[in-house]
Structure 1
Amino acid sequence: MASVFSHALVAYTIKKVANVSLNPIKLSLLAIFCAVIPDADVIMFQFGYSYEHPLGHRGFTHSILFAFLLAFLVRIIFYRKVKFFSKLGMTLCIVFFLATISHGLLDALTNGGKGVGFFIPFDDTRYFFPWRPILVSPIGAARFFSEWGLRVLQSEALFIGIPCGIVLVLRIFLKKKTT
């Protein structure tokens, strides 16, 4: 998996590009929540579920269906006064969906694990992208704060941080150009 820092950065970038004029802190925190919550599936190890099980790590919580359901749920709970089919309502759903699905997409770019179950519960196959440049992050804080964790952060800075930075700078440049 990519680290929580990279998942949060991608969610923040998605939120900034969406340019939604609502409470920016609330929206940022919700987008970041959507991007990091799929890894809560590691708790399933404690209940005896294997990595490969549809409810195991990188299983259902990394799927497209989960991203859709979570986006809908977060939008309904936290923005219930916004009309659902309004432009703002649809934009919020898209932001939360993209933030959530970005988690699995980043994980599919890592060099470790057993793939991502994008189509669970319809298909239990796990997938990786052909190009996997991101070093897989260790599970657990103790393992993360090590030489391995530092190498992970370096690869994420290169393959996630720089692209997000470029997108954010372009957004600022293009926003100034239109005003």
Structure 2
Amino acid sequence: MASIGHVAVGMLLGRYERGTSSTGRLLASMAFFSALSLSPDADVIAFVFRIPYEAPWGHRGATHSFVFAALVALAIGLLARAVRFPALRTGGLAFIALASHGLLDSLTDGGLGAALLWPFSNERFFAPVQPLPVAPIGAGMLSPRGLYVVVVEFVVFLPFWVYALWPRRRALPES
């Protein structure tokens, strides 16, 4: 994916979490959940270390799994609890943000699939249908193919963007 969809999921979750907060808190929440939604793609660093794409720690490997999502969400939930945020809600939304990444990548029409069940299996999975075009990696995003992928993702995730960015009536006072 071109990351447009991942950011849209994060924005939606941030809006859901902090929809009636001040603008600053809302934007912080959207940025936090968008970063979480994107974070599994930090595995592209594997290319620098010559870790093969198909390796468990290669691109779309372990960081795209439900176990990875659960472990990071647990850590976030514990951190939220320590700073007096609602731990279960924050951890649950973090899990959705992280787990959505692998699921959305499985909807693309290229690559090797996502290792959703790592560490129990290194198999890469695709969804039964793949309606999203796979994004070129790196400078390839600046090509006509990259532009096509961005446009398709923007259209597919338009309802997420609308929900996230629709003007609010007014912010409630902070307590």
Spell out the pairing of 1:1-179 with structure 2 (5 A cutoff). Answer: 2-19=1-18, 23-77=25-79, 80-82=82-84, 88-140=86-138, 142-160=139-157, 162-165=158-161, 167-168=163-164
8 Å contact from structure 2 (residues 15, 29) kept in 1: no
Q: Deviations over 1:113-152 (max 9, x none)?
A: 0010001011111100011111111111x22122111100
Instruction: Give the letter for the 2:14 counterpart.
Output: K
Relative distance call for 1:169 and 1:77 in structure 2 (3 A) is closer
The worse-fitting range, judged by mean Cα deviation, of 69-78 and 94-103 is: 69-78
Instruction: Give the letter for the 2:78 counterpart.
Output: I
Gaps of 5+ in 1: 174-179
CA distance in structure 2 between the partners assigned to 1:148 and 1:79 by the alignment: 44
Relative distance call for 1:26 and 1:72 in structure 2 (3 A) is farther
8 Å contact from structure 2 (residues 10, 30) kept in 1: yes
Instruction: Give the letter for the 1:76 counterpart.
Output: L
Instruction: Give the letter for the 2:57 counterpart.
Output: L
Q: What's the offset of the Cα at 1:92? A: 0.4
8 Å contact from structure 1 (residues 138, 144) kept in 2: yes
Gaps of 5+ in 2: 170-175
The count of corresponding residues between Structure 1 and Structure 2 is: 166
CA distance in structure 1 between the partners assigned to 2:156 and 2:103 by the alignment: 13
Cα RMSD over matched residues?
2.5
CA distance in structure 2 between the partners assigned to 1:29 and 1:17 by the alignment: 13
Relative distance call for 1:145 and 1:165 in structure 2 (3 A) is same
Normalised by the length of structure 2, the TM-score is 0.83
Q: Deviations over 1:86-113 (max 9, x none)?
A: xx21110111111111111110111110
8 Å contact from structure 1 (residues 133, 159) kept in 2: no
Relative distance call for 1:21 and 1:91 in structure 2 (3 A) is farther
Q: What's the offset of the Cα at 1:4? A: 2.2
